[in-house]
Amino acid sequence: MDFTFSAWVRRSGCDAMTAADANPTQPLPEWEQPSTPRRRRRVWPWLVALAIVVVLAVVAWFVAEAVARDLVHQTVEEEIRERLSLPADHPIDVAVPGVLIPQLIGGTLDELTVSSEDVPVGGYEGDVTVTATDVPIRGGADIGGATATVTLDETQLRTLLATVEGFPADTVELADPGIDVATELQLFGAGIPVGVSLTPSVAEGDIVLTPTAFEVAGAQIDAAQLSDQFGRLAALVTRDWTVCLAQYIPAGVTLTDVQVDGDVLVADADVDGAIVTDPSLQANGTCD
C-alpha cells in the first residue's frame, strides 16, 4: 500500500509539473494611467513681440538717419558760409547720396555735392556746384577729388568780362553756341559798327574767346575780308581775348572746359584733393 500511495504521489507531482510547463503563468498586465494631453504653447504672442521689435528698430534707424543727415547738412553749410564769407541766411544746398550712417561709421562720405547761387568770386558772382568724393569727416586728410561747375548768366558774364581791358563787355549777348559783342572801327573819322561772334574755349586754365564770324553793315564777312577793308584796324576785332580767372579762384582749382548752354555760360573745373589740407592750394592763384 505504501508503495502504491507513494507512487501515486510521485505520479501526481510529475503530472502537475507537466501541466504547469505546458501552461505557464502569464504576468498580470501593468495598470496604465490615462495620458494627460499636452498643452500647446501659443506662438502668436512671440511673433507679435518680434514684429514690434523689428518695427521699432526700423523706426529708430530712420530717425537716426534723419538726425545724422540734418547734422551733416548744417555742419557743411556753416563751413561753406564761413569759408566764403557768405551771409548767415545765404541759401546753400547740400546733398549726400546713399545711406548716411554706414558712411559716418566708416569715417568717409562717398560723395558730397554742395551748390549755391550768386556766390561772390572776386569781383563777380556765379552759381557754383561742387561735387567731392571720398570726403573724410575728420580733419587732417585729403578728399579723393572734386569737380566744380560755375554757371554765369548774361549779367554775371558781363561783370566778369568787364575786368578784361578793352573788351566791350556792356554789349555782350549769349547766343548759343557762342557770345556776340558789338564794337566800332574808326575809318577816316567815322565809326563803322562791327558785330563779332566769339567761341569760348579753355587754354592753360584760362578762358579764351576766339572770333569766328563778323558782321559789317548787316553783311556777314570773314576775317580776311575784314582785314582787306580795314587793314591793321581789323586786328582790334580779329584777336583772341584771354580771360584769366586764376586771381579769383583757389590755386587748387583748374578750369577744364567752358561752353555756352542756352542762356548761360557753363565753366567746369577740377579740384585738387589736397586743397582741404594745403594752404597754398587754398590761396588764390595769379595771372601772368
CA-CA-CA-CA torsion sign (277, 132, 147, 244): negative
Q: Tell me: pLDDT of 269 over 90.
A: yes
C-alpha span between 50 and 105 (Å, rounded): 27
**Pick from 167, 172, 182: nearest CA to 240:** 167
35-58 average pLDDT score: 62
CA 279 to chain centre: 25
Q: Tell me: pLDDT of 11 over 70.
A: no
C-alpha span between 177 and 167 (Å, rounded): 20
**Pair (160, 78) in one structural domain:** no
C-alpha span between 279 and 109 (Å, rounded): 22
pTM of this prediction exceeds 0.85: no
DSSP symbols for 103-126: HHHHTEEEEEEEEEEEEEETTEEE
pLDDT score at 180: 95
pLDDT score at 41: 57
**Pair (165, 257) in one structural domain:** yes
pLDDT score at 26: 53
pLDDT score at 273: 92
Confirm whether 164 is domain-assigned: yes
| Domain end residue (candidates: 141, 170, 197) | 141
Contacts of 227 (CB under 8 A, 6+ apart): 234, 235, 238
**Pair (165, 227) in one structural domain:** yes
Q: Supply the range of the domain harboring residue 199.
A: 155-261
272-285 average pLDDT score: 90
| Domain end residue (candidates: 141, 165, 198) | 141
List of long-range contacts for 97-104, beta carbons under 8 Å, 24+ apart: 99/65, 100/65, 100/68, 100/69, 100/72, 101/61, 101/64, 101/65, 101/68, 104/68, 104/72, 104/137
pLDDT score at 270: 95
**Pair (257, 178) in one structural domain:** yes
Q: What is the pLDDT of residues 158-174, one digit of tens each?
A: 999 998 999 999 999 99
Please answer whether residues 256 and 269 qualify as being in contact, where contact means their C-beta atoms are separated by less than 8 angstroms. yes
> Higher confidence at residue 37 or residue 240?
240
pLDDT score at 35: 54
**Pair (187, 106) in one structural domain:** no
DSSP symbols for 27-51: PPPPPPPPPPPPPPPP-HHHHHHHH
Confirm whether 53 is domain-assigned: yes
pLDDT score at 229: 84
Q: Tell me: pLDDT of 14 over 50.
A: no
**Pair (196, 257) in one structural domain:** yes
pLDDT score at 16: 43
Q: Tell me: pLDDT of 142 over 80.
A: yes
CB atoms within 10 A of CB 26: 6
Q: What is the pLDDT of residues 229-268, one digit of tens each?
A: 888 888 888 999 999 988 888 899 999 999 999 999 999 9
| Domain end residue (candidates: 89, 113, 141) | 141
The x, y and z cell numbers of residue 150, run together, are 560755375
CB atoms within 10 A of CB 120: 13
**Pair (159, 137) in one structural domain:** no
**Pick from 223, 256, 242, 257: nearest CA to 288:** 242
pLDDT score at 81: 87
Confirm whether 281 is domain-assigned: no
Confirm whether 39 is domain-assigned: no
Determine phi and psi for 247, rounding to 5 degrees: -75, -10
Quote the number of domains for the chain: 2
> Higher confidence at residue 125 or residue 6?
125
C-alpha span between 165 and 183 (Å, rounded): 14
Peptide bond into 177 cis (omega under 30): yes
Please answer whether residues 270 and 253 qualify as being in contact, where contact means their C-beta atoms are separated by less than 8 angstroms. yes
**Pair (51, 132) in one structural domain:** yes
Q: What is the pLDDT of residues 178-236, one digit of tens each?
A: 999 998 887 776 778 899 999 999 999 999 999 999 998 788 988 888 888 888 888 88
138-143 average pLDDT score: 84
Please answer whether residues 76 and 94 qualify as being in contact, where contact means their C-beta atoms are separated by less than 8 angstroms. yes
Q: What is the pLDDT of residues 79-116, one digit of tens each?
A: 888 887 888 889 999 999 998 888 888 889 999 999 99
Confirm whether 184 is domain-assigned: yes
**Pair (161, 256) in one structural domain:** yes
Please answer whether residues 264 and 150 qualify as being in contact, where contact means their C-beta atoms are separated by less than 8 angstroms. no
**Pair (119, 164) in one structural domain:** no
C-alpha span between 257 and 208 (Å, rounded): 11
**Pair (115, 60) in one structural domain:** yes
**Pair (132, 186) in one structural domain:** no
